[in-house]
Structure 1
Amino acid sequence: MDDVEVRDELRDVSAAVLAVAAHLSVRDVLTTILTSARKLVGARYAALGIPDEDGGFAEFLADGVSDEEWAAIGPLPRQHGILGAMLCDPNPVRLANIREHPHFGWWPRAHPKLTDFLGMPIADGDEIIGELFLANSCNPGGFTAADEELMRLLAAHAAIALVNARLYEHSRELSIVEERDRIARELHDAVSQKLFSLRLTADAASALLARDPARAAAELATVRRLAAEASAELRAIVVGQRPADLDGDGLDIALRKQVELLDRVHEPVIRYAGGGYVPELTEDRKDAVYRIAQEAIHNALRHAGASRIDVVLTEHEGATLLRVTDDGAGFDPVDGGRGLGLASMRDRASDVGATLAVVSEPGGGTSVRLVVPA
């Protein structure tokens, strides 16, 4: 192999590795591993199996066959033949003729006829987390030792990408569970208590209606007030769950839209100041800024009794600065503030390397200041 061929091969390997590592979805990672492997060694057919807990395949992807051919082949392979044997063997298998393998059994009538074969495990430590199967080399002489080394290299990087994708999807699942728990707490704390009070007040008004109409009317006024407060709390929770289009709109526009929406559905005046230059942030930092702003605004709406809330996004000494201030009741940051989401905001800030400061005092309003490095 001359220098040009070596450079071309290294470039192809690098492109394949980068393509695999670029995805966070498990399905995308698997598909990219499969197509990259087939292209890298010039195989007519390629397949990728993911083992289940019973010694078979939880998933089985193929490349090089049409949808019609795949449907005609029939059910996924389980534990038979060379594919099943490789699920327990950490060593690669390279054959000039797959039929020569001692575990070769059969294939369905519609299955493509395979000749030369290269099988490579994808392992995370001692655990086999996938198997690559390549068949019918497009190059004269079949698969080579160099092809086997290329697959070994790709499989090592594929294992890292696959584990990372699984961890990412698991973390998203945990985030969804945490978000559901938060919504449940908000519904209980902010709405169900008001509905309970509303029911008791309505019962009292009903009992007083015949003997004391004036007091009954007062109780009904309380019912109207409690119903309005419960409705406002529900609107706040629903608005808070609407996903922000941070990718499409950008942080500045997404924050402006959120503030304008909250200003329409709540009595306090809520204003946003932004639109100037702010440093470019990573996706996780954009999300943290947005969520902390959201939490700070909702705290002011629910707990502060504020008449005005101001949200400012700007650049400060090369960093992104978010300020949310209100003229509400304030609280003692030492003894108070529990239940105001301060711990959640601090956790979000810490996770992205940002600095959060909350300044408040009884009767003096509250200021939330977030500084995010570029």
Structure 2
Amino acid sequence: MKEKNRRDSLYRQVKIARFWLPVAIVLMVLFFHFVILASVAPAQRDSFTIIFYALLGPTVTFLTLNWLAQEIKNHEKAKYELEHLYQELQTSHELLSSIQEVTEQFASAANLEATIAVASRGITDVTKALGVAVCLSEGNMNIDDQYNLSSALFSESKKRTSALAHNQSLNDKITLTNTDYWVLTNPILWAEKLVGGVHAYYETKPTDEQKESFSILSSEFSASAEAIRGRTRDLLTLIEIDRSIKAEGNLERILEILLKQMMARVDASIGGIFLLGDANRLVLRAGQGIAGTIEHLKLGEGFIGQTALEEKPRLSWKLEAKFRLGMLEHAQSAIALPFLADGLLGVVVLAHEKENYFYKNSLAFLSLMTGQLTLAIKNAQSYLQSEELAVSEERRRIAREIHDGVAQTLAFSALQLDLVNKLIEKDSEKAISKITDIKSTLRELIKELRRSIFALRPVDLDSHGLAETVRRYCRDYGEQNDVKVDVNIERLPKLSKKLEITVFRIFQEAMHNVAKHARANNINISLIYSSNGNVELNIIDDGQGFDLASVSDRVTTAGGLGLKNMQERVEKLGGSFSIKSQKGQGTSIKTSIPV
């Protein structure tokens, strides 16, 4: 544009000069003839005329050509400047394109290690460095990577990173093995915390352009690496939450686990989970770092109660005194999130003693975690309801068994005794025979009652663990039922509470079925941890067996589980359940559940 304006200006000046230059010459000639010559003596007029015209032509020509030469020179200078500027813009465009390409690779990297590898190579290529090293350390994570550096330079880069961490000064020029190197270093900052450094090595002193490119790329890498670290951490947190929800059936422990994970996510020093109780009061069910004594809050009371009343997340960087109730007594910053499911279930609150401590962008992920918390509470409540239904069903079953079995047998025995009372004088031998039958019936009845009581007695899995509880159960079971029980239990890994309960309930159900129906003499039990990562429970008896098709939907025992329900419970945990039985050939039950 500038060059075009110059060309247009030169053209206009030449065009105008075509008119004013002849006019100026004519005026000068007229002025010479009528003014200058008129004042000169006639004898000198011819000499003056010759001198005038001899000077006028060359002078006009010189001035005109000089003017044109100056304009052409300016034109050439402008053209050169424009070409130089174009080259600079082209170079800058290529550099920015290279920087953009590398930063896009940062963003698309699958994990932190891949991002670091892209950074070390990309910064080397863009800044024309000899090589680049990236050293990163946070907590238990230590990742060091380099591109095109010798072992000596790579080792030197680690020392520079250590010097950064200790606020030591760094030299821009170093000498290794009699060779001079220039070094550019940029710290890696995550949440304003130093976690490492990026170091680029050059054989010559880097230009301003190289320094600027290195600064841009290393800063972009730091931001991208922090973002990837955050995404990875969030994903692992969600996986851990999901695993905790599936593995744990106890609501209190679930709340404690989830609260610790949410506090760790934002580095909170105070945390609590309140559930909505009777009379619309919030009851503290899990807490960490709590200093206050208030464990019940009304809706609208304090920061927590206000969140519950509005049913919206709240973030305060500086809590007012009127909001610092109970657990927030010493807090200055706080986040409160309600969890909802067809209405308010409760509130989770995270706090810290420092002002302006939390970041607003944390709310999105915390809300996602709160959704998981809502699911955990609903699942736990459903689990408790199912347990209550199971207890209620068990009570009805026991009442039915007593009514149909024990009560009727006792009533029949009472009638038999009345008959014996009448026969004892008339036919003593027959009365004695009846008494013998009644005694036999009562002994069987006593055995049946003992079996029911044995199956219903409480089991302390928390104190002894699954393996030892099974051993103790089998020892008492053999004595109680006059059956030989062989037990093979291999060392098991740490199992979740829910998995232990499920395995034991299936084991208990199967054993009670053997005692009640099988008439077995021998039972073989194996409880092992298989090579494919499953807990396997196998129970084999040599009893009379049964027809699966006729009883699979109706056999229930002290645990309240039928064979079909046993299978469904195992399959819900991703396992497999199989049972084989034929009349006269015993029964085999095999269960396999992933840990």
TM range (shorter): 0.7 to 0.9
The answer to whether the 8 A contact 1:45-1:65 is kept is yes
Query: d(CA) in 1 for partners of 2:547 and 2:399?
Result: 27
The answer to whether the 8 A contact 1:119-1:134 is kept is yes
Deviations 1:150-193, CA, capped at 9 Å, x for gaps: 43243233223333333333333333333333333333333222
The answer to whether the 8 A contact 1:278-1:320 is kept is no
Query: d(CA) in 2 for partners of 1:265 and 1:170?
Result: 33
The alignment status of 1:78 with 2:298, answered yes or no, reads: yes
Alpha-carbon spacing, 1:93–1:254, altered in 2? closer, same or farther (3 Å): closer
Match of 2:5 in 1: none
Match of 2:219 in 1: none
Query: d(CA) in 2 for partners of 1:122 and 1:64?
Result: 22
Instruction: Work out which of the residue numbers 169, 176, 180 in structure 1 matches 2:391.
Output: 176
The answer to whether the 8 A contact 1:349-1:356 is kept is no
Query: d(CA) in 2 for partners of 1:26 and 1:344?
Result: 26
The answer to whether the 8 A contact 1:90-1:121 is kept is yes
Alpha-carbon spacing, 1:181–1:324, altered in 2? closer, same or farther (3 Å): farther
Query: d(CA) in 1 for partners of 2:395 and 2:358?
Result: 51
- Seq. identity, %: 17
Alpha-carbon spacing, 1:292–1:65, altered in 2? closer, same or farther (3 Å): closer
- The one-letter amino acid of 2:577's match is A
Query: d(CA) in 2 for partners of 1:341 and 1:241?
Result: 13
Alpha-carbon spacing, 1:288–1:260, altered in 2? closer, same or farther (3 Å): same
The answer to whether the 8 A contact 1:296-1:368 is kept is no
Query: d(CA) in 2 for partners of 1:201 and 1:334?
Result: 38
Aligned-pair CA distance for 1:290: 1.4
Match of 1:291 in 2: 508
Match of 1:224 in 2: 439
Alpha-carbon spacing, 1:114–1:333, altered in 2? closer, same or farther (3 Å): closer
Partner-residue secondary structure (3-state), 2:299? coil
- The one-letter amino acid of 1:309's match is N
Instruction: Work out which of the residue numbers 557, 567, 571 in structure 2 matches 1:349.
Output: 567
The answer to whether the 8 A contact 1:98-1:117 is kept is yes
The answer to whether the 8 A contact 2:553-2:562 is kept is no
Higher helix share: 2
- The one-letter amino acid of 2:567's match is A
- The one-letter amino acid of 2:349's match is F
- After superposing the two structures, state which structure 1 stretch, 111-120 or 158-167, moved more: 111-120
Aligned-pair CA distance for 1:76: 1.7
Query: d(CA) in 2 for partners of 1:276 and 1:132?
Result: 42
The answer to whether the 8 A contact 2:547-2:582 is kept is no
Aligned-pair CA distance for 1:271: 2.9
Query: d(CA) in 2 for partners of 1:354 and 1:120?
Result: 42
Deviations 1:197-234, CA, capped at 9 Å, x for gaps: 22112222233334444333333323322221221111
Query: d(CA) in 2 for partners of 1:336 and 1:28?
Result: 38
- The one-letter amino acid of 1:216's match is A
The alignment status of 1:117 with 2:334, answered yes or no, reads: yes
**Which consecutive residues of structure 2, in runs of 5 or more, have no partner in the other structure?**
1-188, 191-221, 571-575
Query: d(CA) in 2 for partners of 1:333 and 1:105?
Result: 64
| 1:34-183 correspondence to structure 2 within 5 Å | 34-52=259-277, 54-59=279-284, 61-66=286-291, 69-70=292-293, 73=294, 76-81=296-301, 82-99=303-320, 112=329, 114-124=331-341, 127-138=343-354, 141-183=356-398
Partner-residue secondary structure (3-state), 1:142? coil
Deviations 1:61-98, CA, capped at 9 Å, x for gaps: 544334xx41xx5x621123343342243431122344
Aligned residues: 348
Deviations 1:282-326, CA, capped at 9 Å, x for gaps: 64663365135314312336xxxx4x533234699x976533232
- The one-letter amino acid of 1:134's match is L
The answer to whether the 8 A contact 1:17-1:158 is kept is no
Q: What root-mean-square deviation, in Å, do the aligned CA atoms of Structure 1 and Structure 2 show?
A: 4.3
Deviations 1:233-290, CA, capped at 9 Å, x for gaps: 1111122224567785756x766655554443446xx333453879999646633651
The answer to whether the 8 A contact 1:186-1:237 is kept is no
The answer to whether the 8 A contact 1:57-1:77 is kept is yes
- After superposing the two structures, state which structure 1 stretch, 238-247 or 141-150, moved more: 238-247
- The one-letter amino acid of 1:312's match is N
The answer to whether the 8 A contact 1:123-1:130 is kept is yes
Partner-residue secondary structure (3-state), 2:357? coil
Partner-residue secondary structure (3-state), 1:182? helix
Alpha-carbon spacing, 1:24–1:348, altered in 2? closer, same or farther (3 Å): closer
Higher relative contact order (CA 8 A, sep 6+): 1
The answer to whether the 8 A contact 1:95-1:116 is kept is yes
Partner-residue secondary structure (3-state), 2:348? strand
- The one-letter amino acid of 1:157's match is Q
Alpha-carbon spacing, 1:122–1:93, altered in 2? closer, same or farther (3 Å): same
Query: d(CA) in 2 for partners of 1:279 and 1:134?
Result: 37
Aligned-pair CA distance for 1:337: 9.2
- The one-letter amino acid of 1:156's match is G
- After superposing the two structures, state which structure 1 stretch, 215-224 or 270-279, moved more: 270-279
Query: d(CA) in 2 for partners of 1:181 and 1:275?
Result: 35
Query: d(CA) in 2 for partners of 1:292 and 1:145?
Result: 52
Deviations 1:326-372, CA, capped at 9 Å, x for gaps: 2x5x7777778997559922431354231223312xxxx35223233
- After superposing the two structures, state which structure 1 stretch, 334-343 or 115-124, moved more: 334-343
Query: d(CA) in 2 for partners of 1:129 and 1:367?
Result: 51
Partner-residue secondary structure (3-state), 1:145? coil
Query: d(CA) in 1 for partners of 2:427 and 2:553?
Result: 42
Partner-residue secondary structure (3-state), 1:275? strand
- The one-letter amino acid of 2:479's match is R
The answer to whether the 8 A contact 2:546-2:581 is kept is no
